Amino acid sequence: MDSKSNKIRNLKIDTPHGSLKTPFFMPIATRGVVKGLTPNDLEKLKATLVLGNTYHLWLKPGLKVIKKFNGLHKFMRWEKPILTDSGGFQVFSLSKFRKITDKGVSFSEPESGKKHFLTPEKSIDIQLTLGSDIIMVLDECPPWPCSKSEVSAAVERTTRWAKRCKDYFVEKTGKIPKSEKPLLFGIVQGGVHKDLREKSARELTSIGFDGYAVGGVAVGEPREYLKKVLRYTLPFLPENKPRYLMGLGRPEEIIDSVKAGIDMFDCVIPTREGRHGRLFIREKTFGKISQSSKINSKKVYSRINIENEKYSLDKSKIDSQCDCYLCQNYSRAYLRHLFKIGDTLAMRLASEHNLRFYLEMMEKLRTK
RNA sequence: CCGAGGGUGGCAGAGUGGUCAAUUGCAACAGACUGUAAAUCUGUCGGGCUUGUCCCUACGGGGGUUCGAAUCCCUCUCCUCGGA
């Protein structure tokens, strides 16, 4: 990537719970909690918003509870913006337990077998009830491997559903003052196919959304085609609207995507890998990620498995460049011990550390 | 001292004549994790090398029966539980 192709954007996104500067990363709070962390912890890590999930919150705690608390913000006590995913990813991840028709998707809960039917309109309704600041349309995220004709069908359904979401959203939010109105984002599908990505991007743009997401890249083979998918998609999206790469990713994927013109990210990696004892470490070039196109984005960091035997006597910090609580107070040996005995403090400290890594990475990318 | 039941790989615990270097769980060691069915999943886990349906050593010790024993018999030893 040469310097001319460095397209880092600094947008401001206004939401009912405050404005956001791009590019940013959203910690994942699928069920209304970033696993193991309090909102206070998240503020200290300088998180600016979190992601919740329509499908999960709809089932638990359910809308009755959410309504009682006047929305998810008050329930989970997070007063900054929340983006909610529509349940579209569950179309993919629960593929064994679902059935799609044009009307919507029926899911059966893996544990109980209990059936639920989600439609584009229902998804919007739930997200409005949650009080989400950024609402995602329900999309069809095809599994992989997947034939081109199946991807094509998913693109077409995604467009039809997006239109329904938009119409329903307009109808439901017509009376809400602009400053309190949530944003609605469309989601581009199309797999790894140039023509389908372009078609999807164009169709969504013509419907008109407050922002556009690139979906269907996070898991499996499509990830290998990330740069291509962005090239196939971004030219057909409006310049002045935020772009959100759903579900990614590794640091190098995020850095490269920011430089390709993506503004928003979310990913389970920092928290999940943290809970599993994988810790991200800043390398020397970490601070320069936005400055030079010559920086290899894969080399700005490394990863350790803190449970490895070699750390049992290691008195050093996890990451000497990190300002998180873990790195300010504890040794590698102690964190390893916490993991070995299975204390939940281990997961909490590691999640915080990894999130701090991701969030600081975004800070570096915001200041060109 | 008598009666009964036991001693299996780091631990727990299967296996009661060949398909057993030995099920399984835990521990240990390593790996994976991408819009969270994920505090989860995978692999290795007696030793050796010429990595082979290979060789050694091994189911408390010793001896025996058998073509063949962790498995059957004898003996020693140790543990547990009842009774003196």
Token output for A165: 């979401």
pLDDT at A4 over 60: no
Q: Per residue in A248-297, pLDDT tens? A: 989 999 999 999 999 999 999 999 999 999 999 999 999 988 887 778 88
Which of A246, A266, A286 is at the close of a domain?
Answer: A266
pLDDT band at A17 (very low <50, low <70, confident <90, very high): very high
Q: Is the CB atom of residue A312 positioned under 7 angstroms from any atom of strand B?
A: yes
Q: What is the pLDDT of residue A94?
A: 87
**Has residue A271 been placed in a domain?**
no
Q: What is the pLDDT of residue A91?
A: 83
Q: Which whole-number Å values give the CA distances from A181 to A205, A213, A240, in the listed order? A: 20, 19, 19
If one counts the domains in chain A, the total is: 2
CA A299, A305, A308, A314 dihedral sign is: positive
Nucleotide with the nearest C1' to A83 CA: B35
Q: What integer best gives the mean pLDDT of chain A?
A: 94
Contact A227, A188 (CB under 8 A): no
Q: What is the CATH classification number for the domain harbouring A107?
A: 3.20.20.105
Between CA A336 and C1' B80 the distance (Å) reads 39
Higher pLDDT, A292 or A59: A59
pLDDT at A368 over 80: no
For residue A286, the enclosing domain spans 278-366
Q: Indicate if A290 and A257 belong to the same structural domain.
A: no
Q: Is the CB atom of residue A310 positioned under 7 angstroms from any atom of strand B?
A: yes
**Has residue A97 been placed in a domain?**
yes
Q: Is the CB atom of residue A165 positioned under 7 angstroms from any atom of strand B?
A: no
Q: Indicate if A20 and A155 belong to the same structural domain.
A: yes
**Has residue A356 been placed in a domain?**
yes
Which of A241, A266, A291 is at the close of a domain?
Answer: A266
Nucleotide with the nearest C1' to A253 CA: B34
Between CA A46 and C1' B69 the distance (Å) reads 68
Which position has the token pair 């999640």?
Answer: A351
- Residue A2's SS3 state is coil
Q: What is the pLDDT of residue A143?
A: 87
Catalytic residues of A: 85, 266
Query: How many CA atoms lie less than 13 Å away from A159 in the CB half-sphere?
Result: 18
Q: Per residue in A183-217, pLDDT tens? A: 999 999 999 999 999 999 999 999 999 999 999 99
Q: Indicate if A39 and A68 belong to the same structural domain.
A: yes
Higher pLDDT, A368 or A93: A93
Q: Which of residues 102-131 of A touch strand B (CB under 7 A)?
A: 110-111
Q: Indicate if A139 and A214 belong to the same structural domain.
A: yes
Q: What is the pLDDT of residue A231?
A: 96
pLDDT at A3 over 60: no
**Has residue A9 been placed in a domain?**
yes
Q: Is the CB atom of residue A255 positioned under 7 angstroms from any atom of strand B?
A: no
Highest-scoring range by mean pLDDT, A88-102, A105-119, A258-272: A258-272
**Has residue A272 been placed in a domain?**
no
Q: Indicate if A353 and A250 belong to the same structural domain.
A: no
Nearest 10 degrees: Cα torsion A80, A75, A141, A21? 0
Q: Indicate if A142 and A252 belong to the same structural domain.
A: yes
pLDDT band at A335 (very low <50, low <70, confident <90, very high): very high
Q: Indicate if A224 and A336 belong to the same structural domain.
A: no
Q: Indicate if A235 and A297 belong to the same structural domain.
A: no
Lowest mean pLDDT among A1-10, A222-231, A250-259: A1-10
Q: How far apart are CA A198 and CA A39, in angstroms?
A: 39
Q: What is the pLDDT of residue A2?
A: 42
pLDDT band at A225 (very low <50, low <70, confident <90, very high): very high
Between CA A16 and C1' B66 the distance (Å) reads 86
**Has residue A362 been placed in a domain?**
yes
Q: Indicate if A120 and A47 belong to the same structural domain.
A: yes
Q: Where are the beta strands (DSSP E) in A48-160?
A: 50-53, 82-85, 98-100, 105-108, 115-118, 134-136
**Has residue A86 been placed in a domain?**
yes
Polymer length in residues for chain A: 368
Q: Indicate if A249 and A301 belong to the same structural domain.
A: no
Between CA A339 and C1' B7 the distance (Å) reads 36
Q: What is the pLDDT of residue A367?
A: 83
Which of A266, A288, A310 is at the close of a domain?
Answer: A266
**Has residue A100 been placed in a domain?**
yes
Between CA A274 and C1' B47 the distance (Å) reads 37
Q: Indicate if A89 and A138 belong to the same structural domain.
A: yes
Q: Is the CB atom of residue A234 positioned under 7 angstroms from any atom of strand B?
A: no
Q: Indicate if A290 and A261 belong to the same structural domain.
A: no
Contact A94, A147 (CB under 8 A): no
